[in-house]
Amino acid sequence: MSVILSIKDLRKSYAGGFEALKGVSLDIEEGEILALLGPNGAGKTTLISTVCGITTPTSGSVTVGGHDILTDFRAARSLIGLVPQDIFLEPFEKVWNTVRFSRGLFGKPRDDSKLEEILKKLSLWEKRLSPTKELSGGMKRRVLIAKALAHDPRVLFLDEPTAGVDVELRKDMWDIVAELKASGVTIILTTHYIEEAEAIADRVGVIRGGELLLVEEKDQLMQRMGRKQLEVQLTDPITEVPASLAHLNLELGQGGGSLIYTYDTRAERTGITALLNEVAQAGLVLADVQTRQSSLEDIFVGLVSEDVV
């Protein structure tokens, strides 16, 4: 595997003086899928915009396929496709025209069968003659993807491709990403959904306050992050965890009205059945049961306190 995108000590200060990227360094292997996670305002979009040429870096360097994005911008940008976070489309333009425009803009010769293939893959073929304003939000996002794919990019940036997208479409999107990966495209995507990173990424990067806190193989990270909690609501509050349940490492919930069980979703056995049995055997009456996944925010807090750099 070779490095297709190399970011070295990239800094970006906006005109107002705000430093949105504080020295980000990152190498991305050809053909991998990297998910960038981070809270609002972390600098994910800024990072993507800077690599793609929408904003100018303050310092540092970026190469794409070995081409510097400033001194050799034509070669670098030819390799990149970008699907922006917000939906930017000319409302009166037909789907077909706008996709064809994108291909031409990148200097590629007209290739109708190529565009047909892309539109069909994205289930947009029937809508090709519709003006974009007549499409649903999910369709518009797919038009943006079609535009980004129109020039055969080797590296594809997807900035929150599934924000506000329904479950089914989200799955479709994941399939599309998997197909692209299979065809050798390197994909960098941002998301606020950890399940999404889990479902499709090879590696996960966490960015916060303009700094890359960590980049790690997804599988390793998930093991550390994939904690889930099960809360058992009791009809009658208790003051302490019964001794017979001590081996389960339970915590007492607020006011003693519940028991909290923490488990690993990736473990072979989650131990939930045993837990519920034992709770009943201990003479406690269950009122309700709910589960909670550790949220992204929890994970950030965890990450920062662990001093991962």
Partner 1 sequence: MNWTGILSIYRYEMTRFFRTLLQSFVSPVLSTSLYFVVFGAAIGSRIEEVDGVDYGAFIVPGLIMLSVMTQSTTNASFGIYFPKFIGTIYELLSAPINFLEIVIGYVGAAATKALFIGLVILGTSSLFVDLHIAHPLAMILFLVLTCLSFALMGFIIGIWAGNFEQLQLVPLLIVTPLVFLGGSFYSISMLPPIWQKITLFNPVVYLISGFRWSFFGQSDVPVAISLAAIFGFTLLCLGVIWWIFRTGWRIRS
Beta carbons of 218 and 78 less than 8 angstroms apart: no
Q: Which is nearer to ligand ATP, 134 or 195 (CB)?
A: 195
Interacting residues toward partner 1 by CB under 8 A:
14-15, 52-56, 73-78, 80, 82, 84, 86, 88-92, 97, 100-109, 147
Q: Are strands 67-68 and 59-64 parallel, antiparallel or unpaired?
A: antiparallel
In angstroms, how far is the first alpha carbon of the chain from the final one? 25
CB of 159 to ligand ATP, least distance (A): 7
The token pair at 31 is 């053909």
State yes or no: residue 45 binds Mg ion (CB under 5 A).
yes
The token pair at 22 is 């504080």
Find, among 185, 200, 191, the residue nearest to 159 by Cα.
Answer: 191
State yes or no: residue 191 binds ligand ATP (CB under 6 A).
no
196 conformational bin, left if phi > 0, alpha if psi -120 to 50, beta if neither: alpha
Q: Which is nearer to partner 1, 9 or 73 (CB)?
A: 73
Q: Which of residues 235-274 bind ligand ATP (CB under 6 A)?
A: none
State yes or no: residue 17 binds ligand ATP (CB under 6 A).
no
Q: One symbol per residue from 78 to 107: x for binding Mg ion (CB under 5 A), - otherwise; what is it?
A: -------x----------------------
Q: Which is nearer to ligand ATP, 18 or 73 (CB)?
A: 18
Radius of gyration of the chain (CA): 24
Q: How far is CA 56 from the centre of its chain?
A: 24
Q: Which is nearer to partner 1, 98 or 191 (CB)?
A: 98
State yes or no: residue 233 binds ligand ATP (CB under 6 A).
no
State yes or no: residue 46 binds ligand ATP (CB under 6 A).
yes
The token pair at 67 is 């081409």
State yes or no: residue 42 binds ligand ATP (CB under 6 A).
yes
Q: Which is nearer to partner 1, 28 or 52 (CB)?
A: 52
Beta carbons of 278 and 248 less than 8 angstroms apart: yes
CB of 71 to Mg ion, least distance (A): 27
Q: Are strands 155-159 and 186-191 parallel, antiparallel or unpaired?
A: parallel
Residue 239 binding: pick among partner 1, ligand ATP, Mg ion, none (C-beta 5-8 Å cut-off by kind): none
Burial 255-267 (b: 16+ CB within 10 A, else e): eebbbbbebeeee
Q: Please state, in angstroms and rounded to a whole number, the distance separating the CA atoms of residues 192 and 174.
A: 15
Of the residues 1, 16, 113, 243, which one makes contact with ligand ATP according to CB under 6 A = 16
Give contact residues for ligand ATP (rule: CB under 6 A): 14, 16, 18, 20, 38, 40-46, 85
Give contact residues for Mg ion (rule: CB under 5 A): 44-45, 85
